[in-house]
Structure 1
């Protein structure tokens, strides 16, 4: 009996060791990289609906060939992913991006790696510190400090170089700048593109405008508490789970009503499922009607998209006339010859046979959405003044919502150009493709959506009616200029309405 237990311990220990034996520095031989790259290229050329939407075929072939030419020696997973990211960014599709393998993601989540201690904000003419955890007793670098150089290179050149690896819709520069400005993103992209070094030097302008230089080291992550915790009663754990869920829902969507201003402030940070958005919208617009609220602010600046069912429902509560979601929505094929590497490929053919029909152009059209006209909601429809706050992080379904309500007389878009394209996008059904050797993944949108075929395909996002951008001064003062302006507009409108009574 003891010998069997001993053997079992040995086996479990061996299995645990095997699971923990992931080598992040492992280099894949050229032959395996080339095989993965061939799958990567041929899947995109075969199945992506918009491979040459924003780039001519000859230029795309050039970038594909360039990527293959880089495979001259063995590479680690991050090195290879860096090459793939640079090439895939040339498709100019924000839904088409690379991901580390699941094994590498697990490594990053558990390895307690040193962190890049600074987030930046890329403005039109400057790059400034947004926040940092740099700690030195002899120097203070406050929020809003202008950065001039990074590792001896002009900061703007560094930003331009890094932007070449970031996928985005069309030619939207504001989206690329915002992507690098999101919290922790600069360090994350730096890790992918060139790997993090133990220390870096940057230059900045001090309080009197003199350029100074500063070298800093990466920051060690906080130590995890490995001490034994007391057992929490089951009832308390259930309460904690319920509280966490409520916090998640509150972050996903919320509404506050200021009766003094007769204004509602609705935040919708996602259109993803499982956030009770249908009931939230119905309840919110019922409360707005009951309270006779004349002004509504809808903040979608942090909304990266989700299910168009939810964005369409929100549109129906606001739209003053019937609308279509798209002029065209189609895929280029049902199945791929590389189906063994593509997520959900086993049922894609059946699914597409049910929802699409092949037309004379050879494409598989999702006819329901091409034909269907949505009518405005009658019950609790909102007819007051609406201000939609937009920004570069407004993407996918959030951009579709902004595009649908733009131009309506009682609605104003306030803020910045959306990250999602105004002309359309490639998305809807987005399986992961897993490369056979490195297990690196990339997202493969299957449908191309064109909102209005008569509009310009200029590669821009949905432009605001009133443009308000962050400035160095607003960052240093930690104020939100978009919200401040909307508040002024609401007060002005309330005064005008009072005078007209």
Structure 2
């Protein structure tokens, strides 16, 4: 996500009009040079109009946070969940204070699910109405608009998911640190609107109190863990929280692969017939690891990506002077195009599925808006193969693919804000006629109820288990499919 943990400047920084225009122009040039999606979701002429409008309004000095707000629309207009506007280093840190709640929505209302403030009278299930005299719904909409991280195109699920899961981070990044906030709320089973002021928490205090009060509710399942949840229906949950590597120094991802093998050995040993793959909150990671997971159920050899391309200027970011082999490696992996850019020589690398190790039962996927990037790649490939039952809400990334692969973080010269820019356009090896929406859409949309807030219930899992017990399968497992390879067709992403 684009919101990091940094510390507000003790001395306010003022950005002059000249400095602001230099920064905005610098950012626009970098986006034009490097970003493979300029003009993709928002037409190029609209991007130019927006830039001109933002540039021409820079006529007076402004403080750092106001300039952060001013730059944000140019980044969000890309509608690319991998492009992030970040604060300068040391903007938020140890002494920053955060809103001391976890907030969860039910319909159009917002409720406190976890309270780490000193005021313990604020119980779970209290309806939070306003923060500093602003309706929570209005604040949520504003935070969703300023940061498109984790959501591609006009999809809202990723923005909605992250801006609530990380509401305290988003609030501090957009409005700055605050010692305390004024709130109005309604207690559980009470119609009286109450008002109080609560002191905000530092990050360390937030974490310590959360662990003390809610330690038995925190999700401590390790990535790729397996647990049997229903022995009668032979159902297990495989938690796939990330496709990032298990170890930092592991270029071939052997540790991830070993742990994945251990998980599927356990699944086979316990004769699991219904496998629930939990990819809620999985923000992605390494494509090779997502392909390794797919090998355990795909019906035939497959490619994850059909096409990878980047702009000409991206070469300078991948070829470095300090690594004399980088130029050779680049020429072996990419070839130039007539348009002056580069395409991958091995984008269509094919993976062979496991046969003896394959899971042949029914697959169920739990997903939400934070199932992004490589997680959406797994969902899209499985849907394209005609497999799986999808439960929850639409994923954050597009079915066709995304802008990712390699990244360049640029620092604006005066404000020192940072923007992460993806360098590659990655197109999934999927058929357009297999899509069930712009993203991968759920077969069964599941939403939280007020009782779910009160009990902290895993409502998506509860719904999935009900489907399994009732024998509801939208797309059969491998044992029911014709085991001939599914031919992948390139998807022509519409603009």
Determine if the TM-score, normalized by the shorter chain, exceeds 0.5: yes
Alignment of 1:246-325 (within 5 A): 251-257=222-228, 260-261=231-232, 262-275=234-247, 276-325=255-304
- Equivalent positions of 1:408-419 (< 5 A) are 408=385, 411-419=388-396
Structure with the larger helix share:
1
Bigger Cα displacement from structure 2, 251-260 vs 301-310: 251-260
Give the equivalent residue in structure 2 for 1:148: 129
**For the Cα contact (< 8 Å) 2:100–2:200, is it kept in 1?**
yes
Aligned counterpart for 1:218 among listed residues 172, 175, 199: 199
Superposition deviation, residue 432 in structure 1: 1.2
Provide the aligned length of Structure 1 versus Structure 2: 440
Report the aligned-residue RMSD.
3.2
Q: Which has the larger radius of gyration?
A: 1
Residues 122 and 60 of structure 1: is their aligned pair in 2 closer, same or farther, counting only changes over 3 Å?
farther
| SS at 1:284 equivalent | helix
Alpha carbons 2:285, 2:373 under 8 Å: kept: yes
Q: Assess if the C-alpha contact under 8 Å between 2:99 and 2:200 holds in 1.
A: yes
Q: 1:118-267, aligned counterparts within 5 Å?
A: 118-136=101-119, 140-167=121-148, 168-182=151-165, 185-207=166-188, 210=191, 212-221=193-202, 251-257=222-228, 260-261=231-232, 262-267=234-239
In structure 2, the partner of 1:109 is 93
Q: Is the 8 A contact 1:89 1:165 kept in 2?
A: yes
Shift in alpha-carbon separation, 1:295–1:208, aligned structure 2, 3 A: closer
Cα offsets for 1:317-353 (capped at 9, x unmatched): 11123332223211122448xx7xx697657766543
Q: Residue 10 of structure 1 aligns with which residue? A: none
Structure 2 residue 316 is the aligned partner of structure 1 residue 329: no
Name the residue aligned to 2:454.
476
Q: 1:115–1:218: 8 Å Cα contact kept in structure 2?
A: no
Label 1:85 to 1:179 Cα distance change in 2 as closer, same or farther (>3 A): same
Q: Is contact 1:128-1:147 (8 Å) kept? A: yes
Quote the offset at 1:365 in angstroms: 1.2
Task: Check 1:218–1:34 CA distance in 2 against 1; reply closer, same or farther (3 A cut).
Answer: farther
Deviations 1:472-497 (A, max 9, x none): 22112211111112223333449xxx
Unpaired segments ≥5 residues, structure 1: 1-19, 225-247, 495-501
Gaps of 5+ in 2: 1-6, 206-218, 248-254, 473-495
CA gap of 1:219–1:159, structure 2 versus 1, over 3 A, is closer
Could you say if the C-alpha distance between residues 190 and 220 of structure 1 is closer, same or farther in structure 2, counting changes exceeding 3 Å?
closer
Indicate the larger mover: 212-221 or 420-429.
212-221
Q: Displacement, 1:455?
A: 5.7
| 8 Å Cα contact 2:402-2:426 kept in structure 1 | yes
The separation in 2 between residues aligned to 1:255 and 1:318, in whole angstroms, is 16
CA distance 1:200–1:331, change in 2 (3 Å): same
Aligned position for 2:374: 397
Q: Which residue of 1 aligns with 2:363?
A: 386
Distance 1:46 1:86, change over 3 A: same
Contact preservation (8 Å) 2:226, 2:266: no
Question: 1:315 offset after TM fit, Å?
Answer: 0.6
Aligned pair in 2 of structure 1 residues 465, 24: CA closer, same or farther (>3 Å)? Answer: farther
| Rounded Cα–Cα distance in structure 1 between residues aligned with 2:9 and 2:133 | 35
Q: Is the 8 A contact 1:428 1:447 kept in 2?
A: yes
Superposed CA offset, 1:95-147 (max 9, x none)? 10022233x15xx334x23332222224442222232234447xx33323333
Q: Which one of the candidate residues 75, 85, 90 is aligned to 1:98? A: 85
1:31 equivalent in alignment to 2:38: no
Question: Partners in 1 of 2:273 and 2:380 — Cα distance?
Answer: 23
Is the CA contact (8 Å cut-off) linking 2:404 and 2:425 kept in structure 1?
A: yes
Q: Contact 1:253/1:266 (CA < 8 Å) preserved in 2?
A: yes
**Where does residue 215 of structure 2 map in the other structure?**
none
Name the CA distance, whole Å, in 1 between partners of 2:377 and 2:426: 10
The 1:162–1:22 alpha-carbon spacing in structure 2 relative to 1, beyond 3 Å, is closer
TM-score by length of 2: 0.79
Q: Is this contact kept in 1: 2:367–2:392, CA < 8 A?
A: yes
